[in-house]
Copies of this chain bind each other. A is one copy, B any other.
Amino acid sequence: MLLSCYRKLISYIRNKEIARKYSVISAVLEKPNGWVKNLRKQKDLIFADVSDGSCAQKLQIVIPKNLASDSLTYGSSVSITGKLSKSPRGQLELVAEDVKVLGTCVVLDGYPFNPRTTHPPEYTRQYLHLRSRTNYTSAILRIRSAVTKHIYDYFALNSYTNIHSPVLTSNDCEGAGEVFKVQPDSEATIKAMMQENKDKDSVYFGSKTFLTVSGQLHLEAVCRGMGNVYTLGPTFRAENSRSRLHLSEFYMLEAELAFCETLSHLQGAIEDLLKYVFIETRNTNEADLFLVDKHNKAPSWVDKEFVTLTYDEARQILGKKGSALTDEGINKEQELTLVEYCNGSPVFIVKWPRDMKSFYMKECSEDNTKVEALDLLTPITGEVVGGSLREDSYEKLKSKLPSDRLNWYLELRKFGNIPTGGYGLGLERLLQVLCNVSNIKDTLPFPRWPHNCDM
């Protein structure tokens, strides 16, 4: 446990555990380990900014020249002993008494990063194994960690049960066909398990098996035994898309609400979650957010009310702007136009044409050509959340069921059924919105997209 900065100490003082932690932090600050992020040499002194990677702030180390060796360079790892004091500007600094270089870093030997340089994301993305050493990537990853924690806290405070929905599944929930299939790599395993009438795709599990595209159907099963549930985990699409908004592997938060009878109930839950996560992240990661979005371009809609438009209203608004909707729904450009129309507020589009949406969505009682579905649109990314009320009529669901393989899903409606609704939120897109990140590949440590899975 290493804490290299004053701000972190301040944040701990707000914490109830401070009594125990305070002495630990002082000890750590007087003997920090970390990496040299910057060096400034004066006549008799060297000033080194050292970071342990746990927060955006660095600790300034004042090093008498006789204590420094040539291997004390930008990028090297160091272990330092000294005394804490205040700099002339009143900031905490450490006057070194001993400086040990643990790992050298010779830029000329192939280290791809340079001091006092902001490398563009396209460049650092070529060095996934090293890019968490840059200020920008480490700030994003700290924000991602904090957002994840705040999501867990939110659902715990609101009495949801966390369900680890499976990655491996024999369902293809969305029916889109853009799935990865899975089989053992070992020919020996396949041979040993081979049975009559089976092909290689189904020999291990007994049926063809895919990587999940959504945990919704599994959540719906558990929701009918345990009430409100959620899952946050990896999800997959085998699309041949290299856009700034798509990944082959991404994290999705999905929640299913028990006894949920109206879209407005669902919308309230989504708005409540997003505002909680935004406010908490600003509290815990202010310096990181400043580092990744210096001009504060990320939308500050925490205090605004989210807007609601029906699909038909959205169509009219776009029509007046000369942008007609097709059977494919609302495209990315149109999504961003609608957000702009709402002055940059997030906007729910509700009550979608039935034929555009999935079989499990509940028909609107007032118009059975529409379903009780919603998309939430935001600046930067457009859609970040999709959700719906679920069809709770056994007979109606039976008539729309796309495959006998989903008979288990139908059976959920047969015994002690309840009305439910739920939503899915793309974690990476949320981070794009929160941090003003143009390309989704910079919101996670090891992005996977077509032709890119090198580590």
A211-227 residues with Cβ-Cβ distance < 8 A to B are 211, 217-218, 221-222, 224-227
Q: Is the CB of A193 within 8 A of B409?
A: no
CB-CB contacts of A133-150 with B at 8 A, as 1s and 0s?
Answer: 110011001101100110
Q: Pick the residue among B182, B249, B454 that contacts A181 (CB under 8 A).
A: B182
CA distance A193 to B241 in the complex (A): 11
Q: Does residue A334 face the partner (Cβ distance < 8 Å to B)?
A: no
Q: Pick the residue among B2, B111, B181, B418 that contacts A258 (CB under 8 A).
A: B2
Among the stretches A115-123, A161-169, A335-343, A363-371, the one at the interface with B is: A161-169
CB-CB under 8 A from A168, the residues of chain B are 236, 248-249, 448, 453
CB-CB under 8 A from A137, the residues of chain B are 225
Q: Does residue A157 face the partner (Cβ distance < 8 Å to B)?
A: yes
CB-CB contacts of A174-214 with B at 8 A, as 1s and 0s?
Answer: 00011111111110010011000000000011111111000
* A189-B453 contact in complex given A180-B182, A221-B132, C-beta closer than 8 Å: no
Closest to A15 in B: B157
Q: Is the CB of A451 within 8 A of B205?
A: yes
Q: Does residue A53 face the partner (Cβ distance < 8 Å to B)?
A: yes
CA distance A180 to B157 in the complex (A): 37
Closest to A248 in B: B168
Q: Does residue A281 face the partner (Cβ distance < 8 Å to B)?
A: no
Q: Pick the residue among B54, B171, B419 that contacts A226 (CB under 8 A).
A: B54
Interface size on A, residues (CB 8 A): 117
Among the stretches A40-48, A71-79, A296-304, the one at the interface with B is: A71-79
**A80 to chain B: closest CB distance in Å?**
12
CA distance A170 to B234 in the complex (A): 17
Q: Is the CB of B205 within 8 A of A452?
A: yes
CA distance A170 to B165 in the complex (A): 24
Q: Is the CB of A419 within 8 A of B159?
A: no
Q: Pick the residue among B179, B185, B192 that contacts A180 (CB under 8 A).
A: B185
**A370 to chain B: closest CB distance in Å?**
24
CB-CB under 8 A from A77, the residues of chain B are 416-418
Given A103-B415, A130-B412, A165-B445, 4 other A-B contacts at CB below 8 A? A167-B234, A170-B453, A189-B240, A206-B453
| CB-CB nearest 9 A-B residue pairs | A103-B417, A132-B225, A53-B226, A184-B238, A133-B225, A205-B453, A145-B162, A181-B185, A129-B408
Can you name 11 A-B pairs with beta carbons within 8 Å?
A2-B227, A52-B258, A77-B416, A130-B415, A131-B225, A148-B162, A164-B251, A179-B186, A180-B182, A185-B238, A205-B450
